[in-house]
């Protein structure tokens, strides 16, 4: 029998209880993994065990695929009309709303982000995304295409069938919503692997999904490791699509695995090293605040973090002074504390990675302008960090750190800064601060990234597509665009009068 | 610099001289490969060499990418407005049409397909495709997306930049059009690798694209062996391309691969029409079509009648010199010839009945008789695997459900056809067949307007129609904040 996780939150910002089975969710039931093993869920504020959850294996993925395919063929897919799929998604959104604080608390406990941010962004955005796609569920349309009068030609945008979804640990609930929303709206069945570091909100969601009324087998949630469950999904011969959010390194493996096995379609949301350009005609105070949000939000653990901060020479000193003050004002501490802005990094591994990058910055001769060290003596807390006097070839300028570490780079010439900004294998996002309409928009257009923010940063909406150029990914999530990832286009040609000889 | 191939056609279908450069086409010039290698082009009707063409290597591709990137940054991409790209595409189509018979003659000479089919099928479609996408070039639109009044959010559908396109030998100029037209319409620059077996029409195309005034570096055509990237070809090679993309820079990949498409004839079909269409489904292009309807399921009530008529029809298929009055020609190469014969052999060995044909012609060139197998079982190689030759298998069924299940029991999913005059049966069956294209009371009908592509291991993505534009655009979301302060 899978363990039940029971927890009482007694904190300054939230008091409440949670209790749910931590089994794998397969075909509408919560079960032990096939090997009966478990994964430890660790609290990143102190490195202590929160609970154990069931560990999924390849065999569990196989079972789930069989169940999902059967459900797709008999009950789900086009057997359930769009309006009903909409109803179920809305039910889920409503249930998430009813358990709003509980979900935020679980996310803060598991990931280390603050309860406040989990409420304001993660849970809010997740509900909005589910509801947005509920609205699409009965609006999946093909086209009729004029060819000649002797025939009828139309396209159907059909569900693909069983899709695999692998999500990361930085925005666990939100990434789950971004994935299941469009996949369910278009009629697919899902095998979802949450990150082994942050499975709790996904597991809690499995209970809400059941309660919402989704038939067994429509959504299957299998926590496990990338090398086992992740690989099983990427390689599975009867999964026809895999969607992944995570590192570029793993993204490659998934694409290769898909190619090697059954050529399943692949969409990827990968890493970034997004440039943020502040011109001399920017509103500096706003630029400072947005820049801080750009790099320190979620402890820098955001694929689109604006981690390369280019500042025009004319406003460099003013900006740096104000930005430093802003960074100093960010309170690091307990995710459930009052006024905490930043909690711990998600895991020991991440902590070590980031500290190693900070080290490399020092060693390669950058100036450590602020921070650069651990905060406190337990848990994975790192102080907001700023480097200056960098060179383009330094690792801290080239590589994705995924922590609260920004590099500030002085520039003088617009063309030069655009070249520098684009000189990366990534292309996820970019930001520009300028009040001049020509400069602001033309620079935004020239930046090679899937999202360009003008006078803002890290603004996401369920209606607006998000995804990477170059090695930041393949395909777009969110908006109407995401529907393409989960539909198979079939062209039907009905011949009335054409004969052949 | 590079060589020229000149051929004086003295045939019933076409008389005239055709002259084409044989170099690699890079940066608006025809050049030898950096290693000076060449490749022999073979005439499949007699196995003899037609000419040799320059053969490129990695070094040539690297150079072409640099040239193409420069063209993208300076003269093409969004620097060349859509209506101007439209003019170039229309001009290309016009020039191709002026040289229509030359294209058809080269295609027939190189591939062995009949001149008449190259004209009414391949080139007709190629011209339609260029003109269709000429019409899209100034209609590439993003969206404005409502979020809140204190910001403006919009998407731009930008060109990707340098795209690589690798095409097959079965419909050389047609597949070139399917790839080049949407890519150019969207503002991309192209490195295209024709099949090493069938480079001739691509070379004539390059010459005309140059004459059309397309800026140097926008279209680059590099003949050579081996795949390196949008790809049409075998599923086996498609895998290698996707793996390479994953290993290198995660370039986006679209694939049009193989098929073993089912063709279901119900007892309420118009049998005469079904017979004619089925023959077209299997024998068109000598069966060298990814969407060929090679598994023919016939309802037991009409099985004898269908088989009799289909056999008669097949016997009337005229195979011969592509420039004569024929329906089909030779297979494209010795390699293909041997593959098809191997499959026929396996059919015989595994116990299927050779109902008709089943032999190679005893003469020079790569000729295989239109062949019908009956009394097959589902696990036979000739039922499972793509033969890519003029070989059909006929399977009796009694039950619609069973026919649909068998039809869908394949790793492929490119196309399918159903013949029935009953509206419910015809359309519901079409909807249940797991394929990217379902034909009702017809087969192998393609239009520039209508998307084409595979389910399952038949491919990723869709070509043709508006859908193809997605393959060649990069979506950028722009968020302009007016009043939201933090």
Gap between the Cα atoms of A244 and A258, Å rounded: 12
Q: How confident is the model at residue B230 (pLDDT cuts 50, 70, 90)?
A: low
Chain B residue with the nearest C-alpha to that of A268: B250
Chain B, window 370-389: residues with a beta carbon less than 8 angstroms from a chain A beta carbon: none
Determine the distance in angstroms separating the CA of A257 from the nearest CA of chain B, rounded to an integer: 8
Summarised one tens digit per residue, pLDDT across range A117-148 is 999 999 999 999 999 999 999 999 999 999 98
Q: Which fold has domain A275-461?
A: Aldehyde Dehydrogenase; Chain A, domain 2 (3.40.309)
pLDDT tens for each residue of A155-196: 999 999 999 999 999 999 999 999 999 999 999 999 999 999
Give the span between the Cα atoms of B103 and B109, in whole angstroms.
Answer: 10
| Closest Cα in chain B, distance from residue A394 (Å) | 21
Alpha-carbon distance B421 to B271, whole Å? 10
Closest partner CB to A495 (pick from B235, B440, B462): B440
N-to-C CA span, chain A: 67
Contacts with B436 from chain A: Cβ below 8 Å: 488-491
For residue B246, give the nearest of A256, A463, A495 by CB distance.
A256
What pLDDT shows up at residue B228? Answer: 39
A463-486: pLDDT as tens digits: 999 999 999 999 999 999 999 999
Whole-number percent of chain A with pLDDT over 90: 98
Domain boundaries, chain B: 4-257+462-474, 262-447
Task: Indicate the pLDDT class of residue A332, thresholds 50, 70 and 90.
Answer: very high
Percent of chain B with pLDDT over 70: 99
Say if residue A209's pLDDT is above 90.
yes
Task: Work out how many CB contacts closer than 8 A connect A with B.
Answer: 199
Q: Which CATH superfamily is domain B262-447 in?
A: Aldehyde Dehydrogenase; Chain A, domain 2 (3.40.309.10)
Is some CB atom of chain B closer than 8 A to the CB atom of A482? no
Neighboring chain A residues of B252 at a CB cutoff of 8 Å = 474-475
Among B146, B149, B158, B256, the one annotated catalytic: B256
Confidence class for position B1, pLDDT limits 50, 70, 90: low
Task: Please give the DSSP secondary-structure letter assigned to residue A127.
Answer: H
Cβ-nearest to B440 among A255, A425, A494? A494
To the nearest whole Å, the CA of A11 is away from the closest chain B CA by 27
Q: What is the DSSP string of A462-498?
A: TTS-B--SGGGEES-BSTGGGGGGGEEEEEEEEESS-
- CA-based nearest distance A47→chain B, Å: 33
The SS3 of residue A272 is: coil
User: Taking phi first (over 0 means left), then psi (-120 to 50 degrees means alpha), and beta for anything else, what does residue A369 get?
Assistant: alpha
Which A-chain residues 248-287 have CB contacts (< 8 A) with chain B? 248, 251-256, 258-260, 262-263, 265, 268, 270, 286
Q: Inter-chain contact A498–B476, Cβ cutoff 8 Å?
A: no
**Which residues in chain B (337-366) have CB-CB distances under 8 A to chain A?**
none
User: Does the pLDDT value for residue B235 go beyond 90?
Assistant: no
DSSP-based three-state secondary structure for A298: helix
Chain B residues touching A475 at Cβ < 8 A: 252
Residues of B in contact with A270 (CB under 8 A): 250
A contact residues 300-329, partner B, Cβ 8 Å cutoff: none
Would you tell me how many other CB atoms lie within 10 Å of the CB of residue B318? 10
Q: Is B139:B83 a contact under the CB 8 Å cutoff?
A: no
Q: Nearest 5°: phi and psi at A460?
A: -125, 145
The tokens of A470 are what? 């170059």
3-state secondary structure chain B: CCCEEEEEEECCCCEEEEEEECCEEECCEEECCCCCCEEEEEECCCCEEEEEEECCCHHHHHHHHHHHHHHHHHCCHHHCCHHHHHHHHHHHHHHHHHCHHHHHHHHHHHHCCCHHHHHHHHHHHHHHHHHHHHHHCCCCCCCEECCCCCEEEEEEEEECCEEEEECCCCCHHHHHHHHHHHHHHCCCEEEEECCCCCCHHHHHHHHHHHHCCCCCCCEEECCCCCCCCCEECCHHHHHHHHHHHHHCCCCCCCEECCCCCEEEECCCCCHHHHHHHHHHHHHHHHHCCCCCCCEEEEEHHHHHHHHHHHHHHHHCCCECCCCCCCCECCCCCHHHHHHHHHHHHHHHHCCCEEEECCCECCCCCCCECCEEEECCCCCCHHHHCCCCCCEEEEEEECCHHHHHHHHHCCCCCCEEEEECCCHHHHHHHHHHCCCCEEEECCCCCCCCCCCECCCHHHEECCECCHHHHHHHEEEEEEEEECCCCC
Q: What is the pLDDT of residue B428?
A: 94
Average pLDDT over every residue of B95-99: 98
The topology (CATH level 3) of A4-270+474-489 is: Aldehyde Dehydrogenase; Chain A, domain 1 (3.40.605)
Quick one: tokens of B409? 């029991």
Write the ipTM.
0.89
**Ramachandran bin of A6, using left for φ above 0, alpha for ψ from -120 to 50, beta for the remaining angles:** beta
pLDDT tens, residue by residue, B379-433? 999 999 999 999 999 999 999 999 999 999 999 999 999 999 999 999 999 999 9
Beta-carbon count within 10 A of B134 CB: 23
Q: What is the pLDDT of residue B234?
A: 84
Whole-number Å distance between alpha carbons of A91 and A130: 10
Do A4-270+474-489 and A275-461 show the same overall fold?
no
- Is the pLDDT score of A10 beyond 60? yes
Minimal CA separation from A258 to chain B, in Å: 8
| pLDDT band, residue A497 (cuts 50/70/90) | confident
Chain B contacts in chain A segment 222-241 (CB below 8 A): 240
Question: A500 pLDDT exceeds 90?
Answer: no
For chain B, percent of residues with pLDDT exceeding 90 = 92
Tens of pLDDT, residue by residue over A39-93, are 999 999 999 999 999 999 999 999 999 999 999 999 999 999 999 999 999 999 9
Mean pLDDT rounded to a whole number for chain A: 97
Catalytic residues of A: 269
Least confident of A37-51, A198-212, B137-151, B335-349: B137-151
Beta bridge partners, B48, equal: B43
pLDDT at residue A20 above 60?
yes
Q: Tens digits of per-residue pLDDT, B143-165?
A: 999 988 889 999 999 999 999 99
CATH topology of domain B4-257+462-474: Aldehyde Dehydrogenase; Chain A, domain 1 (3.40.605)
Alpha-carbon gap, residue A235 to A231, rounded angstroms: 6
Contact call for B450 and A153, based on CB within 8 A: yes
Distance CA A245, CA A243 (A): 7
Residue B229: what pLDDT? Answer: 42
pLDDT in tens, A415-459: 999 999 999 999 999 999 999 999 999 999 999 999 999 999 999
The pair of three-digit structure tokens given for residue A3, joined into one six-digit string:
């363990």
For the cut 90, the answer to whether the pLDDT of residue A501 exceeds it is no
Question: What per-residue confidence (pLDDT) applies to A436?
Answer: 96
Beginning with the edge strand found earlier in the chain, give each strand of the sheet holding A385-388 in spatial order. A367-370, A385-388, A405-411, A308-312, A275-278, A429-433, A451-454, B473-481, B151-159, B144-145
Q: Are A459 and B459 inside 8 Å of each other by CB?
A: no
Chain A residues with CB under 8 Å of B117 CB are none
């Amino acid at each position: 029998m899978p363990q039940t996780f029971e927890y009482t939150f007694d904190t300054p910002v939230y008091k409440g209880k949670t209790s749910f089975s931590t089994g794998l969710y397969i075909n509408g039931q919560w079960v032990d993994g096939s090997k009966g093993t478990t994964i430890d869920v660790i609290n990143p504020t102190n490195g202590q065990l929160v609970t154990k959850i069931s560990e999924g294996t390849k065999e569990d993925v196989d079972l789930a695929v069989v169940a999902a395919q059967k459900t797709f063929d008999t009950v789900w897919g086009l057997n359930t009309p769009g309006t009903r799929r909409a109803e179920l998604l809305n039910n889920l959104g409503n249930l998430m709303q009813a358990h709003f604080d509980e979900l935020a608390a679980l996310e803060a406990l598991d990931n280390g982000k603050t309860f406040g941010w989990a409420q304001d962004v993660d849970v809010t955005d997740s509900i909005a995304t589910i509801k947005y796609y509920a609205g699409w569920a009965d609006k999946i349309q093909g086209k009729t295409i004029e060819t000649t009068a002797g025939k009828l030609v139309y396209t159907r945008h059909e569900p693909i069938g069983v899709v695999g979804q692998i999500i990361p640990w930085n925005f666990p609930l939100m990434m789950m919503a971004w994935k299941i929303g469009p996949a369910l709206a278009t009629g697919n069945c899902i095998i979802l692997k949450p990150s082994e570091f942050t499975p709790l909100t996904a597991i809690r969601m499995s209970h809400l999904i059941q309660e919402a009324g989704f038939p067994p087998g429509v959504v299957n949630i299998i926590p496990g490791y990338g090398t086992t469950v992740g690989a099983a999904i990427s390689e599975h011969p009867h999964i026809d699509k895999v969607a992944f959010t995570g590192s570029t390194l793993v993204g490659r493996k998934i694409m290769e695995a898909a190619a090697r096995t059954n050529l399943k379609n692949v969409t990827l949301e990968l890493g970034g090293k997004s440039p943020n350009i502040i011109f001399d005609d920017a509103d500096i105070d706003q630029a400072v605040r947005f820049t801080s949000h750009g790099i320190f939000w979620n402890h820098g653990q955001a694929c689109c973090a604006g981690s390369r901060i280019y500042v025009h020479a004319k406003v460099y000193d003013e900006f740096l002074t104000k930005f430093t003050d802003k960074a100093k004002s960010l309170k690091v501490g307990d995710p459930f504390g009052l006024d905490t802005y930043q909690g711990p990094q998600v895991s020991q591994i991440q902590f070590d990675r980031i500290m190693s990058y900070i080290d490399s910055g020092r060693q390669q001769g950058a100036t450590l302008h602020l921070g650069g060290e651990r905060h406190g003596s337990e848990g994975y807390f790192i102080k907001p960090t700023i480097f200056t006097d960098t060179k383009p070839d330094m690792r801290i300028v080239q590589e994705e750190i995924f922590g609260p570490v920004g590099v500030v780079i002085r520039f003088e010439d617009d063309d030069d800064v655009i070249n520098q900004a684009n000189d990366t294998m990534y292309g996820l996002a970019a930001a520009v601060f300028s009040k001049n309409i020509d400069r602001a928009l033309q620079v935004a257009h020239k930046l090679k990234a899937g999202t360009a923010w003008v006078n803002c940063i890290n603004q996401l909406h369920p209606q607006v597509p998000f995804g990477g150029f170059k090695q930041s990914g393949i395909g777009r999530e969110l908006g109407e665009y995401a529907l393409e990832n989960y539909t198979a286009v079939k062209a039907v040609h009905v011949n009335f009068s054409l004969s052949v000889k | 610099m590079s060589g020229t191939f000149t051929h004086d056609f003295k045939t019933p279908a076409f008389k005239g001289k055709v002259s084409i450069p044989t170099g690699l086409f890079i940066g608006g010039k025809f050049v030898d490969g950096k290693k000076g290698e060449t490749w022999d082009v073979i005439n499949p009707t007699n196995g003899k060499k037609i000419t040799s063409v320059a053969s490129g290597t990695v070094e040539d591709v690297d150079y072409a990418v640099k040239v193409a990137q420069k063209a993208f940054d300076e003269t093409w991409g969004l620097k060349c407005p859509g209506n101007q790209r439209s003019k170039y595409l229309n001009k290309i189509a016009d020039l191709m049409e002026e040289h229509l018979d030359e294209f058809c003659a080269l295609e027939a000479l190189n591939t062995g397909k009949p001149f008449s089919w190259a004209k009414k099928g391949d080139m007709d479609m190629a011209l339609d495709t260029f003109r269709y996408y000429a019409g899209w070039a100034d209609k590439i639109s993003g969206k404005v997306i409502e979020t809140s009044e204190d910001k403006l959010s919009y998407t731009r559908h930008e060109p990707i930049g340098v795209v690589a396109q690798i095409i097959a030998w079965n419909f050389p100029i047609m597949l070139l059009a399917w790839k080049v037209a949407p890519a150019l319409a969207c503002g991309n620059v192209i490195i295209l690798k024709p099949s090493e077996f069938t480079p001739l029409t691509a070379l004539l195309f390059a010459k005309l694209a140059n004459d059309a005034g397309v800026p140097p570096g926008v279209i680059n055509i590099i003949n050579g062996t081996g795949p390196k990237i949008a790809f049409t070809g075998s599923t086996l090679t498609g895998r290698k391309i996707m793996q390479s993309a994953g290993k290198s820079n995660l370039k986006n990949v679209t694939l049009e691969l193989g098929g073993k498409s089912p063709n279901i004839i119900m007892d309420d079909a118009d049998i005469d029409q079904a017979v004619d269409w089925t023959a077209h489904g299997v024998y068109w292009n000598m069966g060298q079509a990814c969407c060929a309807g090679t598994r023919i399921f016939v309802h037991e009530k009409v099985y004898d009648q269908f088989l009799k008529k289909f056999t008669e029809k097949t016997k009337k298929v005229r195979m011969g010199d592509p420039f004569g009055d024929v329906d089909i020609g030779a297979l494209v190469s010795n390699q293909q010839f041997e593959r098809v014969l191997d499959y026929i052999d396996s059919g015989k060995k595994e116990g299927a009945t050779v109902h008709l044909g089943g032999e190679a012609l005893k003469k020079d060139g790569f000729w295989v008789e239109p062949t019908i197998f009956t009394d097959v079982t589902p696990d036979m190689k000739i039922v499972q695997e793509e033969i890519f030759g003029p070989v059909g298998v006929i399977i009796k069924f009694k039950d619609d459900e069973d026919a649909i299940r068998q039809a869908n029991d394949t790793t492929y999913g490119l196309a399918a056809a159903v013949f029935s005059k009953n509206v419910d049966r015809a359309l519901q069956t079409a909807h249940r067949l797991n394929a990217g294209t379902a034909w009702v009371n017809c087969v192998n009908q393609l239009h520039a307007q209508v998307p084409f592509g595979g389910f399952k291991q038949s491919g990723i993505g869709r070509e043709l129609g508006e859908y193809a534009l997605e393959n060649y655009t990069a979506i950028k979301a722009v968020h302009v904040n007016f009043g939201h302060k933090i």
